[in-house]
Amino acid sequence: MRLSWTAFVFSACLLSTRGSHAPRAGMLLHEERDDIPVDFVNRGPATPDTMLDMRVALKMADRDGLETALLDVSTPSSPHYGRHLTSEEVRAFASPSPETTDAVSDWLASEGITFKVDGADADWITFSIPVSKANELLGASYENFVHSPTDVVQVRTMAYSLPEAISGHVDAVYPTTSITAPRDPSLGPMFEAYTSAPNVTADAVPASCNNVITPACLQALYGIPATPATQSSNKLGVTGFIEQYAQKADLRDFLSLLRRDINPNTGFALQSIDGGVNEALAGIEANLDIEYTVGLATAVPVTFISVGALNADGVQGFMDFAEVLAAERNPPQVVTTSYGFDSERGLGRTLSTRLCNSYMKLGARGVSVLFASGDGGVGGGQPKQNCPRFEGAFPATCPFITAVGGTHNIPETAVALSSGGFSNFFGTPAYQKNATAAYVARIGSMYQGMYNASGRGFPDVAAIGDKVEIVNAGDAGLVAGTSASSPIFASVIALINDRLIAARKPVLGFLNPWIYANPQAFNDITSGSNPGSCLNIGGFQATAGWDPATGQGTPNFSKMLAAAGL
């Protein structure tokens, strides 16, 4: 299933609309964009009395200190490896300083705005104002941007500014310059009907797994055990957005069909964020994620995290789920998300950075945060065309999450749709510098100028993402995309965590330093590439070692156990 069908998507191809924006006296330009996504049309100034629900992200008191602490507890060679932080310890780094809170509060109060300090770390300020006041407050020019395919209107500005005395206290303001295509919940990912499952056992990888992937295929391919997990404190979280719901009846049918060795009534817990529910409606994405966690991470307690507040671009749910989980006393040790944005540029640098820092909080708590890398290949969300430059999907480009790319076939090769490449916003983190530098040196001048060779490389790892059998609305069918890859890899991590907890060892937590320190723990994929929809190039080629098509490779359970000290 393509991420562009299962995510809050926007096109990465942009059209120029105007030149630079000079802030007025006493104001500093905080962010601007000079172009808009291809499927959007600027319909002119927004009505002055249109109300905007504003969110101001306050700077952390010690953001760099939190990153240092995260890497200290996540790097295998560190003496503090595995000593994950408590919510109180994270809050000491992440909460804004009193000076920051006071400065922004005083500014808003002086403007006659009624506001609320929000968030578990008191690092958000929220308020509602009309467009006329937002234009005045931010030196902005809010306009109506219409998404042509859906006629959905987003009220955004091409630039905004903050007072000089305030700018240094603020990470981002929303909604301002982010323009992202709305997601129609009635649209589903590609679902190809399939009449019957093959008789597959987990002691070998039969040829039939080239035609359809089942839990038994994955158990055989990656050495994943079918024996039940034993630790009740071990939890695996599966996020659900855009009114996607996991149907328990479909899970029961899936288990009856493809995991006959476990109780078909095995279920999952529900956690609601922003009013999220789990209605009795079949959602292909949600069903896939639940069926390949409950059905693969045998007996690991799974929670479906339903994120509500469906909105025009989906950003608010991404803001909230990470903040809520990071503040919990006992968050799930693994969280997998199959939704995202096809390009960093639509969100903008400040908002992408702020969201990425939220995932850093989760990692510091000892949570393995996994995201599907995306299904646009090197082109991100660009339509079929000659791609002038490569686009990095978000959150896959965030250095504090583990991005999971896709493979297909037996033996595995990179699947063409798997998003991968290099970030245009985030620099190469130290944990992967040697790996990405080796790949850049290997390809030489190929694609020079089309990607940022000094950016964070993604994906980090990969798993099967094609011809995966699920049950949806009572019917068996096949789906494709990295939306399958992420829950598969997350299930492997959850099973390793179960054994670590049983051995009274800390869980893996933020995975990336461990992944890059243990390349031998993965099946290296050395063929295939990821052109996606770009017609003029072949995409990044999978090679020996890390590559931007399949990362370090796919799971090898026994070798991963050894790398985890088991």
Query: Which pLDDT does position 6 carry in this prediction?
Result: 37
Query: Which pLDDT does position 280 carry in this prediction?
Result: 61
End-to-end alpha carbon distance in the chain: 35
Asked if residue 2 has pLDDT above 60, the reply is no
CA–CA gap between residue 141 and residue 172 (Å, rounded): 17
Q: Does residue 402 form part of some domain?
A: yes
Bond from prior residue into 175 cis (ω within 30 degrees of 0): yes
- pLDDT tens column, 518-529: 999 999 999 999
Q: How far is CA 61 from the centre of its chain?
A: 25
Is residue 169 domain-shared with residue 272, that is, in the same domain? no
Q: Is 525 known to sit in a ligand binding site? A: yes
Q: What is the largest CA-CA distance in the chain?
A: 72
Tokens of 239: 């996020």
Is residue 544 domain-shared with residue 457, that is, in the same domain? yes
Which of 174, 197, 214 corresponds to the end of one domain?
174
Q: Does residue 187 form part of some domain?
A: no
Asked if residue 28 has pLDDT above 60, the reply is yes
- pLDDT tens column, 469-511: 999 989 999 999 999 999 999 999 999 999 999 999 999 999 9
CA–CA gap between residue 305 and residue 509 (Å, rounded): 19
- Asked if residue 477 lies in contact with residue 193, where contact means CB atoms within 8 angstroms, the answer is yes
Phi then psi for residue 244, to 5 deg, are -95, 130
CA 261, 264, 266: angle at the middle one, nearest 5? 105
Q: What is the mean pLDDT of residues 243-268?
A: 94
Q: Which of 285, 291, 313, 498 is catalytic?
A: 285
Q: Is 305 known to sit in a ligand binding site? A: no
Tokens of 531: 């052109």
Q: Does residue 191 form part of some domain?
A: no
Hey, is 281 helix, strand or coil?
coil
Is residue 144 domain-shared with residue 217, that is, in the same domain? no
Q: Which of 23-27, 230-234, 398-402, 500-504 has the lowest mean pLDDT?
A: 23-27
Q: Does residue 223 form part of some domain?
A: yes
How far is the CA of 129 from the CAs of 30, 110, 111, 156, in angstroms?
Answer: 19, 14, 11, 14
Is residue 391 domain-shared with residue 280, that is, in the same domain? yes
Q: Is 106 known to sit in a ligand binding site? A: no
Hey, is 238 helix, strand or coil?
strand
Query: Which pLDDT does position 353 carry in this prediction?
Result: 96
Is residue 104 domain-shared with residue 253, that is, in the same domain? no
Q: Does residue 10 form part of some domain?
A: no
Q: Does residue 185 form part of some domain?
A: no
- Asked if residue 307 lies in contact with residue 267, where contact means CB atoms within 8 angstroms, the answer is no
Q: Does residue 83 form part of some domain?
A: no
Is residue 233 domain-shared with residue 101, that is, in the same domain? no
Q: Which of 4, 418, 483, 529 is catalytic?
A: 483
- Asked if residue 136 lies in contact with residue 163, where contact means CB atoms within 8 angstroms, the answer is no
Is residue 166 domain-shared with residue 243, that is, in the same domain? no
196 is catalytic: no
Is residue 170 domain-shared with residue 268, that is, in the same domain? no
Is residue 157 domain-shared with residue 247, that is, in the same domain? no
- Domain with 142, as residue range(s), is 19-60+95-174
Query: Which pLDDT does position 309 carry in this prediction?
Result: 62
Is residue 136 domain-shared with residue 279, that is, in the same domain? no
Q: Which of 4-13, 266-275, 278-287, 471-480 has the highest mean pLDDT?
A: 471-480
- Asked if residue 189 lies in contact with residue 285, where contact means CB atoms within 8 angstroms, the answer is yes
What total of structural domains would you count in the chain? Answer: 2
483 is catalytic: yes
Which residues, other chains included, contact 330 with Cβ-Cβ below 8 Å and sequence gap of 6+? Answer: 233, 235
289 is catalytic: yes
Is residue 359 domain-shared with residue 241, that is, in the same domain? yes
Pairing label, strands 402-408, 461-464: parallel
Is residue 237 domain-shared with residue 170, that is, in the same domain? no
Token pair 């993402």 is at which residue?
A: 465
Which residues, other chains included, contact 448 with Cβ-Cβ below 8 Å and sequence gap of 6+? Answer: none
Which of 174, 196, 220 corresponds to the end of one domain?
174
Tokens of 268: 């999952």
Q: Does residue 182 form part of some domain?
A: no
Which of 174, 190, 214 corresponds to the end of one domain?
174
- Asked if residue 378 lies in contact with residue 534, where contact means CB atoms within 8 angstroms, the answer is yes
Asked if residue 18 has pLDDT above 70, the reply is no
Bond from prior residue into 395 cis (ω within 30 degrees of 0): yes
- Asked if residue 313 lies in contact with residue 154, where contact means CB atoms within 8 angstroms, the answer is yes
- pLDDT tens column, 186-222: 334 556 666 554 444 445 677 889 999 999 999 999 9
Q: What is the mean pLDDT of the chain?
A: 90
Q: Is 290 known to sit in a ligand binding site? A: no
Q: What is the mean pLDDT of residues 264-289?
A: 83
% of the chain beyond a pLDDT of 70: 89
How far is the CA of 54 from the CAs of 51, 127, 128, 155, 177, in angstroms?
Answer: 9, 5, 6, 12, 12
Q: Which of 289, 320, 344, 375 is catalytic?
A: 289
Query: Strand pairing partners for 341?
Result: 394
CATH number for the domain spanning 243: value is 3.40.50.200
